[in-house]
Amino acid sequence: MPLFNDNTTSLISSSHPGFVVGRYYASTSFTPSSSLTYFGTGYVFYAYFFVSFAQSFDALVFQNSKSLSSAQEVRLAIYTVESGLPSKLVTDLGKIIFTSVGFKQISCSVYLRPGWYAVALQTSPNSVVLASSIINLSNLLGQINPSVYSFSGFKANLTYGTFPSVASQANLTEADAPTIWLKAS
């Protein structure tokens, strides 16, 4: 049985009404509430995103939920997903520097074909608190062991810097992932 992008011909495009240029699309389904999640240094966090139709995107957004006393850097990238795991680098979006609370947007120019993607996020020099949806994706991502713990993505060990061409899976564990929005162009 194919998983994620192993056989894109089996993807059902009727599960999405299509993208509207200029609108933002969230990485997770709508939930009745959201939470604030601590994202530490020394890791890469993967937020999964499904694209039903081939589409260009010109911005990626996340929400910083805590003011900072000094400048914070967050690096972002997009990876393909193969057999349920982050795989090949699509694009390294670079970094965004900020200190204030609010939505943070990084410009990009990326064309994504139908399939699953993992938006990767790293932080330096300190940890950040970002908005994340309260959602359990264990039905899609699988759990290492049966558990009532919910999670929305993965994290792996990775030294801060340029993203590698193949996604880090060093000590890959279940984790909350930030809510990410992609803007259709």
CATH of the domain at 66: 2.60.120
CA nearest 173: which of 85, 98, 111? Answer: 85
Q: How confident is the model at residue 77 (pLDDT cuts 50, 70, 90)?
A: very high
Identify the H or E element spanning 98.
Answer: strand 85-98
12: in domain: no
The 10s digit of each residue's pLDDT in 86-137 is 999 999 999 998 888 888 999 999 999 999 999 999 988 776 666 666 555 5
User: How much is the average pLDDT of 177-185?
Assistant: 88
> Is residue 130 assigned to a domain?
yes
Q: Is residue 66 part of a domain?
A: yes
Of 52 and 1, the one with more pLDDT: 52
**Predicted model pTM:** 0.82
Residue 141 pLDDT exceeds 70: no
Taking 60 as the threshold, does the pLDDT of residue 139 lie above it? Answer: no
The secondary structure of residue 84, as a DSSP letter, is T
Distance, first Cα to last Cα, the chain: 33
Q: How many helices (H) and strands (E) does the chain have?
A: 1, 12
Q: Pick the residue with more confidence: 32 or 157?
A: 157
43-47, 61-65, 87-91: which range is least confident on average?
Answer: 61-65
Interior CA angle at 60 toward 55 and 65, to 5°? 150
User: Percent of the chain scored above 90 by pLDDT?
Assistant: 35
108 versus 8: the higher-pLDDT residue is 108
Question: Over 90: is that where the pLDDT of 39 sits?
Answer: no
Note down the domain range covering 180: 19-184
Q: Residue range 26-38: average pLDDT?
A: 58
Contact 84, 97 (CB under 8 A): no
Q: Is the residue at 6 inside a domain?
A: no
The count of domains in the chain is 1
Tokens of 100: 């204030």
Q: Read off the tokens for 70.
A: 């000094």
Sign of CA dihedral 56, 35, 81, 171: positive
Q: Average pLDDT in the 59-87 region?
A: 88
Q: Could you tell me which residues come within 8 angstroms of residue 65 by beta carbon, excluding any fewer than 6 positions away?
A: 36, 101, 129, 130, 131
Residue 14 lies in a domain: no
